[in-house]
Structure 1
Amino acid sequence: MSGLVNVLVIVAVAAIVIGRQLRPRVIQADRRWWLLPVILAVVALREPAILDAHHRTESATLLAVELVLGLAIGAGWAWTSRVWAAPDGVMWAKSTKASAAVWALGIALRIGVFALGAALGVHQDSSALMLGLAATLLGRAGVLVWRAQSLQGTSRPAPAYGDGMPSARKEHA
């Protein structure tokens, strides 16, 4: 695929995933939650230009940083999501405002990695970004499934990061 097609795929997948996470969604631990990230990774790894031929070490290092960032962002996104069990035992999840902050931080960090690569003169293909998105989705899905499985059989919701913290708003008497 060309770089433009990769970018369009990345934007479409991110828009769909983010849009879906703004609404409560069923967590289906028994399904193939890892399938979409694996498909994105396979498509990304098929590109021969994923590593810069003139800067292999730097390019591989930036790719490794992108993967670690992706996994960390995905895990952070999952930990900031609210997870609960419905009365019928079905597990649900919904992203929170903290999840949006994790996404914003992730985008800023990825821009920083790209800027560092550009400063080093490393050609960065969009397939590296796609591989990072796959890592993000894999990290998020894995942590959410793990959280859902650890909560099954309990009646209390799992706290998201920031739950129970005092509000920063000023109270009026």
Structure 2
Amino acid sequence: MSALVDVLVIIAAVALIAVRQLRPQRVTADGRRWLVLPVVLVVVALREPGLLDQHHRSLSVLLLGAELLVGLAMGVGWARTSRLWTGQDGTLWSRGTKATIAVWIGGIALRLGLMGIGALADVHQGTGALLLALAASVLVRRGMLVMRARTARPPYGDGSAAAGAATEPWKDRV
């Protein structure tokens, strides 16, 4: 793949992920739907021939591992800073907060630092590591949101609605 196509894929993926996180979106456990973007990112990343630098293999593997750890940490941060709430119809929704934006900025700064370390060590870094880290971030975020949704939902049938009490939609604040 050409460098221009790589850059366009990364920009499109980051834009899609950022927009989806900052807009309300329904949280469902349907694995097929939320696996599409990470699978596409992994396939594109693994098609790259230069995922590891052949001349600096050890450092390249170390940087790739660090990139994946940053991606996993960002996914955890995105999930922990997302607000969850139950809509009027009982569906669960999520939306990123200002803290989610801070996690994005911190993650980008860490990634730039890793790129700088690689450049100083003369390690060739392709876009594959970034795409793999994005895929890991999306998977972790979505998995954690689904887990939070399962554990944080209010119990149904507690009798308050039957007694005529107004029920407030459940909200999880960060």
TM-score category of the 2 structures, normalised to the smaller one:
0.7 to 0.9
1:116 matched residue in structure 2:
117
2:19 matched residue in structure 1:
19
Deviation of the 1:159 alpha carbon: 2.6
Q: Which amino acid aligns with 1:96?
A: T
Q: Which runs of 5+ in 2 are unaligned?
A: 156-168
TM-score (norm 1): 0.87
Q: Which amino acid aligns with 1:119?
A: L
| Secondary structure in structure 2 of the residue aligned to 1:49 | coil
TM-score (norm 2): 0.86
2:170 matched residue in structure 1:
156
Q: Which runs of 5+ in 1 are unaligned?
A: 161-173
| Secondary structure in structure 1 of the residue aligned to 2:29 | coil
Deviation of the 1:20 alpha carbon: 2.2
Length, aligned pairs only:
160
1:98 matched residue in structure 2:
99
Paired-residue identity, %: 52
1:24 touches 1:93 (CA, 8 Å); kept in 2?
yes
Aligned mates of 1:73, 1:122 — CA distance in 2: 24
Please give the residue correspondences for 1:1-173 in structure 2 after superposition, counting only pairs within 5 Å. Answer: 1-32=1-32, 33-154=34-155, 156-160=170-174
Aligned mates of 2:17, 2:129 — CA distance in 1: 19
Cα deviations by residue, 1:58-96 (Å, 9 ceiling, x for unpaired): 101100100010010011011001011123221100100
| Runs of 4+ more than 4 Å apart | none
Pairwise CA RMSD of aligned residues? 1.4
Larger radius of gyration: 2
Deviation of the 1:141 alpha carbon: 1.1
Aligned mates of 1:126, 1:91 — CA distance in 2: 35
